[in-house]
Amino acid sequence: MEAVVVKNLTKTYGKEKTVAVDDVSFSVNKGELFGLIGPDGAGKSSIFRMLTTLLLPDGGSASVDGHDIVRDFRQIRSSVGYMPGKFSLYQDLTIEENLHFFATVFGTTIEENYHLIQDIYVQIEPFKNRRAGKLSGGMKQKLALCCALIHKPTTLFLDEPTTGVDPVSRKEFWEMLKRLKEQHITILVSTPYMDEASLCDRIALIQGGKILSIDTPQNIVNAYPDRLLAVRAHEMYRLLKALESYPAILSSYAFGEYAHATLADTDTEALQAYLRGQGLTGVEVKDADVTIEDSFIKLLH
Ligand SMILES: Nc1ncnc2c1ncn2[C@@H]1O[C@H](COP(=O)(O)OP(=O)(O)OP(=O)(O)O)[C@@H](O)[C@H]1O
């Protein structure tokens, strides 16, 4: 059963008609954790804002729980939860007041749906009288998630929930999402962090308003067409320069302490000899495990 269906959705901005979302189609199954993965400006927020009825599309159509995003905006607004990219809560209200406010707006109470937020809320409850503006990034994020959940949405839209959040809070946040999935809530999450892609059931890789690929993270990685090499030497900058000028090179880029490279041939011995011939020391060439980031880079070219 599909919770979200997007067909040829398009959005342009301004007189110049900058295309932010370009003929995008995908669907999300009920109870799925679906990720929109792409860099800043890829069009993720525009898609989420159209699906939550805050922005009108210029073309195409979409539905959430069978409701059309233009015609049935009222039903969608009462049934979805949305956590925008920028912190959107009332800075002058306390944690408890913010939560109470959101519950009241949706005609419910904190008590009625407390079971949904309990796991998350207990972590910020000791500070419930602190104003939202005075919270740390991780705490703000937890409060925003509680506020987006308090009316028991069927579908949750989380726009870059972990941007600017420390690594420990990021990990905790994804664990919270896993637990929410068990409550049968459909979750759409956007992120620029490629390492978070593997935590989703399925992902759409997006760039320049276009979807490059949609599949499970594992299938996307498995579809990588080339043999990927991890290459190391004592001097990274010189290594990258040498790789660029290697005759059989197809692609090369820095990847942590290694360079990742693909070749037109399979002769890694010849590559090592070439690099040593260029005066590089500490040369190591081995097969690399393909990551979503490698797949993304490949799809971009
Ligand atoms: N209100 C607007 N007016 C003009 N251009 C806009 C507007 N909102 C977004 N854009 C442009 O549309 C493109 C897509 O932006 P969008 O915010 O949807 O991307 P994103 O993937 O969510 O990235 P970000 O993390 O930067 O928000 C970008 O080029 C952006 O500059």
Q: Is 18 in the pocket of ligand 1 (CB under 6 A)?
A: yes
Q: Measure the CA–CA gap between 32 and 268, rounded to whole angstroms.
A: 42
Cβ atoms of 9 and 59 closer than 8 Å: yes
Where among 219, 245, 268 does a domain terminate? 219
Shared domain check, 214 and 99: yes
Pocket test of ligand 1: the residue of 46, 190, 296 to mutate, having most ligand atoms within 8 Å of its CB, is: 46
Cβ atoms of 24 and 60 closer than 8 Å: yes
Q: Is 228 in the pocket of ligand 1 (CB under 6 A)?
A: no
| 7 CA from centroid of ligand 1 (Å) | 20
pLDDT of residue 86: 80
CA nearest to 5, candidates 31, 28, 34? 28
pLDDT of residue 81: 94
pLDDT tens digits, the chain, 301 residues: what are they?
899 999 999 999 998 889 999 999 999 999 999 999 999 999 999 999 999 999 999 999 999 999 999 999 999 999 999 999 887 889 999 999 999 999 999 999 999 999 989 989 999 999 999 999 999 888 898 999 999 999 999 999 999 999 888 888 888 889 989 989 988 899 999 999 999 999 999 999 999 999 999 999 999 999 999 999 999 999 999 999 999 999 999 999 999 999 999 999 889 999 999 999 999 999 999 999 999 999 999 999 8
Domain residues for the domain of 261 are: 229-300
| 213 CA from centroid of ligand 1 (Å) | 20
Please tell me what DSSP assigns to residue 266.
-
In-domain check, residue 238: yes
User: Considering its fold, how many domains does the chain have in total?
Assistant: 2
Cβ atoms of 202 and 35 closer than 8 Å: yes
Q: Is 46 in the pocket of ligand 1 (CB under 6 A)?
A: yes
Shared domain check, 237 and 163: no
Shared domain check, 291 and 177: no
pLDDT of residue 167: 86
Residue 207's CATH number = 3.40.50.300
Where among 192, 219, 246 does a domain terminate? 219
Shared domain check, 255 and 128: no
Shared domain check, 164 and 41: yes
Q: Is 38 in the pocket of ligand 1 (CB under 6 A)?
A: yes
Shared domain check, 180 and 105: yes
Q: Is 164 in the pocket of ligand 1 (CB under 6 A)?
A: no
pLDDT of residue 294: 97
Shared domain check, 151 and 74: yes
Q: What share of the chain is helix, strand, coil (3-state, %, to 5)?
A: 35, 30, 35
With tokens 């979503």, the residue in question is 292
pLDDT of residue 301: 81
